[in-house]
């Protein structure tokens, strides 16, 4: 078999090996079906079982209450930046947005095209290195909803608990930390996530929405952008991302087998903890971007003493089979993404590599 290297990429990202193996084994023909999952009809009994099974397993994994709908959409999390306000922000209404990094900024930019956006808080003055305290949020009790980004993939800051919004519906972009730890879905009105970090391949977006919000959806939205149409048609109004849903189903099964969200949450905390410990023990050679209380378990962003050293670090790491460590082009530096499927052995390899790099280049 072709050798696999450690993939620290931010997304699309590493998938569990048992998932890739099963998909590879069954790619020519699904057992007892005789056709590839890439070839079957989305209206077939086989796909019914795949999408129904995927939803049932997601419900079990995250303990999703029965008054929530689970949707499998397309257009990425970026389309949700538009769909959320189109569906949930009534004419003349206002929505509160909490801005903690580049992704929440993008969400604001799209929402502004649909209606009035209020910035409840922004940490931009601190270069997005922290999650705000509850007391910093200027929340409007009559807002249509509050939007936040549970994990900022580029800046590597992550909420430890949800912002408290009273009776105002809470909407979350969870693209880069969904199902990485236990979640109480009942606290949210809507959760969305592009699949390509923790859930599967790109091309499918998971949306979990409380049913009563569907009543707010205005009439005459473009059909494909209407949550109510998608819910009424069980995500099958048109051809859904069949392969993406199939892989997501395998990933969710893998998570259930691994001890569910409690189990994976412990593993993720341990993986990220050992990397941050190594950075903190470097005597300032490596400087994590996020403040300690806001550090992401999914994306560990840090700097070296100079940009030249950062370039050298990325190139030498790549040669040592540690790939995808270059920080996002907008902030530079190094970023190690440690999603659910990223193995502990890869973190250990990076920790040894970075100790040796600092010793040689200190």
Ligand X SMILES: Cc1ncc(COP(=O)(O)O)c(C=O)c1O
Q: Which of 100, 175, 230, 337 binds ligand X (CB under 6 A)?
A: 175
Tokens 């403040």 belong to residue: 291
User: What does the per-residue mask of binding to ligand X show for 183-202, with x meaning CB under 6 A?
Assistant: -----------x--------
Token digits of residue 66:
């029965």
Cβ closest to ligand X, residue 11 vs residue 241: 11
* Binding segment toward ligand X, per CB under 6 A, in 31-39, 171-179, 285-293, 345-353: 171-179
Using CB under 6 A, count the residues that bind ligand X: 11
* Binding segment toward ligand X, per CB under 6 A, in 19-27, 73-81, 84-92, 212-220: 73-81
Q: Cβ 330 to ligand X, closest distance in Å?
A: 12
* Binding segment toward ligand X, per CB under 6 A, in 36-44, 70-78, 123-131, 138-146: 70-78
Contacts of 287 (CB under 8 A, 6+ apart): 279, 302, 303, 304
Q: Cβ 93 to ligand X, closest distance in Å?
A: 23
Rounded Cα distance, 202 and 205, in Å: 8
Q: 103 catalytic, yes or no?
A: yes
Token digits of residue 283:
């005597």
Q: What is the 3-state secondary structure (H, E, C) of the chain?
A: CCCCCEECCCCCCCCCHHHHHHHHHCCCCCCCCCCCCCCCCCCCHHHHHHHHHHHHHHHHHHCCCCCEEEEEECCHHHHHHHHHHHHHCCCCCEEEEEECCHHHHHHHHHHCCCCEEEEEEECHHHCCCCCCCHHHCCCCCCCCCEEEECEECCCCEECCCCCCCCCCCEEEECCCCCCCCCCCHHHCCEEEEECCCCCCCCCCEEEEEEHHHHHHCCCCCCHHHCHHHHHHCCCCCCCCCHHHHHHHHHHHHHHHHCCHHHHHHHHHHHHHHHHHHHHHCCCCCCEECCCHHHECCCEEEEECCCHHHHHHHHHHHHHCCEECCECCCCCCCEEEECCCCCCHHHHHHHHHHHHHHHHHHC
Q: Cβ 19 to ligand X, closest distance in Å?
A: 19
Rounded Cα distance, 146 and 168, in Å: 7
User: What does the per-residue mask of binding to ligand X show for 135-154, with x meaning CB under 6 A?
Assistant: --------------x---x-
Residue 203 is a binding residue for ligand X (CB under 6 A): no
**Residues 57, 96, 159, 173: which is the catalytic one?**
173
Cβ closest to ligand X, residue 194 vs residue 282: 194
Q: Cβ 44 to ligand X, closest distance in Å?
A: 27
Q: 253 catalytic, yes or no?
A: no
User: What does the per-residue mask of binding to ligand X show for 75-114, with x meaning CB under 6 A?
Assistant: -xxx------------------------x-----------
Q: Cβ 107 to ligand X, closest distance in Å?
A: 8
**Residues 96, 103, 159, 326: which is the catalytic one?**
103
Tokens 């290297």 belong to residue: 5
**Residues 177, 197, 254, 326: which is the catalytic one?**
197
Cβ closest to ligand X, residue 153 vs residue 294: 153
User: What does the per-residue mask of binding to ligand X show for 4-43, with x meaning CB under 6 A?
Assistant: -------x--------------------------------
Cβ closest to ligand X, residue 176 vs residue 235: 176
Q: Which of 57, 96, 158, 173 binds ligand X (CB under 6 A)?
A: 173
Q: Cβ 208 to ligand X, closest distance in Å?
A: 15
Q: 280 catalytic, yes or no?
A: no
Q: Cβ 122 to ligand X, closest distance in Å?
A: 16
Token digits of residue 338:
């440690």
Query: Which residues of this protein are in contact with ligand X, per CB under 6 A?
Result: 11, 76-78, 103, 149, 153, 173, 175-176, 194
Give catalytic residues, as residue numbers.
103, 173, 197
């Amino acid at each position: 078999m072709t050798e696999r290297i450690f993939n620290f990429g931010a997304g699309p990202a590493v998938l569990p090996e048992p998932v890739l193996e099963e998909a590879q084994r069954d790619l020519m023909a699904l057992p007892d079906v005789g056709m590839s999952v890439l070839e079957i009809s989305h209206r077939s009994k086989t796909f019914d079982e795949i999408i129904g099974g995927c939803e049932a397993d997601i419900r079990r994994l995250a303990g999703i209450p029965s008054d929530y709908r689970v949707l499998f959409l397309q257009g990425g999390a970026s389309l949700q930046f538009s769909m959320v306000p189109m569906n949930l922000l009534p004419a003349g209404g206002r929505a509160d947005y909490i801005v903690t990094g580049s992704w929440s900024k993008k969400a604001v930019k799209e929402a502004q095209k649909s209606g009035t956006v209020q910035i409840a808080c922004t940490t931009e003055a601190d270069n997005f290195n922290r999650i705000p305290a509850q007391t910093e949020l200027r929340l409007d009790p009559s807002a249509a909803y509050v939007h936040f980004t549970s994990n900022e993939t580029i800046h590597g800051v992550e909420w430890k608990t949800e912002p408290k919004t009273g009776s105002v519906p809470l909407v979350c972009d969870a693209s880069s930390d969904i199902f990485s730890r236990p979640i109480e879905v009942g606290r949210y009105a809507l959760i969305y996530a592009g699949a390509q970090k923790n859930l599967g391949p790109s091309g499918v977006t998971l949306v979990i929405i409380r049913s009563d919000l569907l009543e707010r959806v205005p009439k005459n939205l473009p059909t494909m952008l209407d949550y109510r149409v998608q819910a009424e048609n069980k995500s099958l109004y048109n051809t859904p991302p069949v392969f993406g849903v199939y892989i997501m189903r395998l990933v969710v099964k893998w998570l259930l087998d691994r001890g569910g969200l409690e189990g994976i949450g412990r593993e993720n905390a341990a993986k990220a903890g050992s990397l941050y410990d190594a950075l903190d023990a470097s005597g300032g050679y490596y400087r994590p971007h996020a403040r300690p209380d806001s550090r992401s378990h999914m994306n560990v962003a840090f700097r070296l003493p100079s940009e030249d050293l950062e370039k050298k670090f990325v190139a030498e790491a790549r040669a040592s089979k540690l790939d995808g460590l270059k920080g996002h082009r907008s902030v530079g530096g190094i970023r190690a993404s440690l999603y659910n499927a990223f193995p502990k052995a890869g973190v250990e390899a990076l920790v040894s590599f970075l100790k040796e790099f600092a010793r040689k280049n200190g």
